[in-house]
Structure 1
Amino acid sequence: MYTLPDEYTRTQMAVGALVLFGVLRVVCAAMGAQYNWRLSVVTRCFIGAAVLFCLPQLADVLFSSPMSHKAFVELQGKAVGCALALFCAPIVSHKLGYE
């Protein structure tokens, strides 16, 4: 059985999380501007969603066998992607005039 190298898996997870949370954050900022939502609440909700998104791999790493290398690589990718999205999406939203 052939498995992908760690770099590819990590990159795929990071790009997936970046696109998912980046696009959703910008869309929610646009909706928040329209419905007068507080942006601090939107940001906290996305931080919670990012933690929930990474939770299965985190549980796998903590409670699974010590050889859960694949889960650790996926967790690294998801965490990096979520962090980048939660950092860059408010900048994009601000440039678009939603924040």
Structure 2
Amino acid sequence: MWHSLPDEYVRAQIAVGALVMFGVARVVAAVLGAQHGWRISAVTRAFIALSVVFCLPQLLDVLLAASSGRAFVELQGKVAGCALALFCAPIVSHRLGYE
């Protein structure tokens, strides 16, 4: 029998996935940026652009499809995870001494 997961579970799992993916990638980019002399503002702008591209499929689905409840739940999870990662990863990078 096929059971669908509740929206809260889907939203939370997607948010945690985006948080881990963007958080780890942002810390690694800060390490590489410190070694290569990149500006942190450029790294931050690049990750903001990457998070917009990451959320774009669900955003287009929400805007173009009339009954896209599942896409809206996925979009909420992705936006929440990306926002948390872009907020918390610079703090972790700073604590590690790379910013």
- Counterpart position of 1:30: 31
* Structure 1: gaps of 5 or more residues: none
- Count of residue pairs the alignment pairs up: 98
Identity %: 69
RMSD between aligned residues: 0.5
Please, what TM-score do these two structures have when normalized by structure 1? 0.97
- Aligned residue for 2:38, secondary structure, equals coil
- Counterpart position of 1:68: 68
Tell me which amino acid in the other structure corresponds to 1:43: T
TM-aligned CA deviation for residue 67 of structure 1: 1.4
- Counterpart position of 2:5: 4
1:13 correspondence with 2:25: no
1:95 correspondence with 2:99: no
CA–CA separation in structure 2 for the residues paired with 1:39 and 1:69: 37
- Aligned residue for 1:2, secondary structure, equals coil
CA–CA separation in structure 1 for the residues paired with 2:51 and 2:3: 30
Moved over 2 A (4+): none
TM-aligned CA deviation for residue 62 of structure 1: 0.2
CA–CA separation in structure 2 for the residues paired with 1:44 and 1:30: 16
- Counterpart position of 1:42: 43
* Structure 2: gaps of 5 or more residues: none
